[in-house]
Structure 1
Amino acid sequence: MSRVTVELPERFEFSTEIALLCSHINSGGHMGNDALIGLLNEARARYLLAQGVLESSSEGWSVVNADLAVRYRGEGFYGDVARIEVAAQSLHRCGFDLCYRVSESRSGRLIAEAKTAHIVIDESTRAALDMPSAMRERLKAE
């Protein structure tokens, strides 16, 4: 099976730190796949909040995940503090991608690289919508 590739930007405009809890650790003694997805979701929410971007609106639209790609580069262990860097990329008519670099904050040891794709949808029809212009402006790379 060929390896997944995740193209990361040279620069990340945001980072956050999240301690790995015992609930993040699987029977193999390291961070589980499900835990990483939860951490990426939390980092996404923190990033969008910091950018002033809402994930849903009273106008009837919301942002949904369309894709997820992860490349594991190492292991995360109980007691590690994950530093998750986030950058927006590939803005298009109805959505955007977020790229993530996950490392252990003290040592810098790389744990994972990931990308998620997001689409703005109409909550009643579930059809893709044009991304609101205010969202586009806030997500533009610095």
Structure 2
Amino acid sequence: MNSKPQIENTDSEFPSRYYFSTEIPIRKIDLSLDIHVSFASILDLVMEAHLQFFQYLGYSVTDIHGNSIIFANAFIQYQGELLYKDKVIIDVSLDNMGEKSFDLYFRLSKKNRSEKVSVVKIRVLFFDYSQRKVVPIPDAFRKKFEGGKIISQASPEIGAGSSGTLGPDGFVSGFRKLEVWKLAHVFLLHLYELCDTWKEKVEPNLIDHIKSVSSLLPVRIAGAWGTRIRSEKIKNILKAKVHLEELRYLLILVADLGVVDPSQELDDLEIINSHLKKYLNRVRTGEARKIR
């Protein structure tokens, strides 16, 4: 994979919606002259975030429907410092999808997105190493985004972080750090809005049942985080999986009744289910508390 980007300042505006977020602690080795993070380390952080993003999508960057990706260029806008022990939040978005290329955006911030660090935009190409040439974007990859199969979230304004969500060190704490909880929470908000549009087509009791079951999904995930007893964590995650399957059935029911088409929401549940499985595995192996 080619990762030698062209670096220059640019006013790359981060898209209005993003698909993935991660948090990475700053180490001594990331600093320049033991002062703050260097431009090279900014790129290292972005490279880590992009690997995590494609893993989240279910891909290896060397095998995306039989092709790899390479970088044509990278543009960096510096906005603030990263210091030792800072925890940088990296939001990842994808935009400007053409025939053979798309742009990956990385927005770096810290302290619950209250302080700007930088915005990075990378032009990405699909490359077939057997033919040694750039190739069109695979249809299956394109449909993930153009068909809305990947859950997106509205990009929060940097500097507008709520102090009520901060932990004692100035960062988001607790279950809000869990990617699976964030996905379930965003899905719940979306489903509540969707149910309002279904009122004329779906029985009110069925809508109420869908809302009731869907609200239990992020509740159980938060409950799993809140207990320190491993058996109770596992019990809550398994209950979340039960609610997910109940919700899956209810959505299949409204589809079979022929009144609405919840196919996108069923795809979203598959994504949430895969993250639930990962969270369950981390709890069973004792890794869950490594996320704050």
Q: TM-score, normalised by structure 1?
A: 0.89
1:74 aligns with 2:80: yes
Letter in 2 for 1:75: E
Deviation at 1:59, TM superposition (A): 7.2
Structure 1 partner of 2:63: 57
Does structure 2 retain, via aligned residues, the 8 Å contact 1:83–1:103? yes
Partners in 1 of 2:64 and 2:144 — Cα distance? 19
- Let me know the Cα RMSD of the aligned residues: 2.1
Largest Rg, 1 or 2: 2
- Residues 116-138 of structure 1, C-alpha deviations (whole Å, 9 max, x = no match): 11100110332110111111122
- Structure 2 residue runs of 5 or longer lacking an equivalent are 1-7, 153-292
Structure 2 partner of 1:47: 53
Which shifted more, 122-131 or 52-61? Answer: 52-61
- Residues 47-90 of structure 1, C-alpha deviations (whole Å, 9 max, x = no match): 11112233223976210111100000000000000000000001
Residues 1:31 and 1:21: Cα distance change in structure 2 (over 3 Å)? same
Residues 1:60 and 1:77: Cα distance change in structure 2 (over 3 Å)? same
Structure 2 partner of 1:14: 20
Structure 2 partner of 1:129: 135
Does structure 2 retain, via aligned residues, the 8 Å contact 1:14–1:87? yes
Deviation at 1:105, TM superposition (A): 3.6
Partners in 1 of 2:65 and 2:88 — Cα distance? 35
Partners in 2 of 1:44 and 1:5 — Cα distance? 21
Residues 1:53 and 1:91: Cα distance change in structure 2 (over 3 Å)? farther
- Residues 17-72 of structure 1, C-alpha deviations (whole Å, 9 max, x = no match): 00001111001611011111011011111111112233223976210111100000
Q: How many residues align?
A: 141
Letter in 1 for 2:115: R
Does structure 2 retain, via aligned residues, the 8 Å contact 1:72–1:111? yes
User: Of 115, 118, 121, which residue of structure 2 is paired with 1:112?
Assistant: 118
Letter in 2 for 1:96: F
1:100 aligns with 2:99: no
Structure 1 partner of 2:38: 32
Letter in 2 for 1:64: I
Letter in 1 for 2:89: R
Structure with the larger helix share? 2
Q: Percent identity?
A: 25
Which shifted more, 5-14 or 112-121? Answer: 5-14
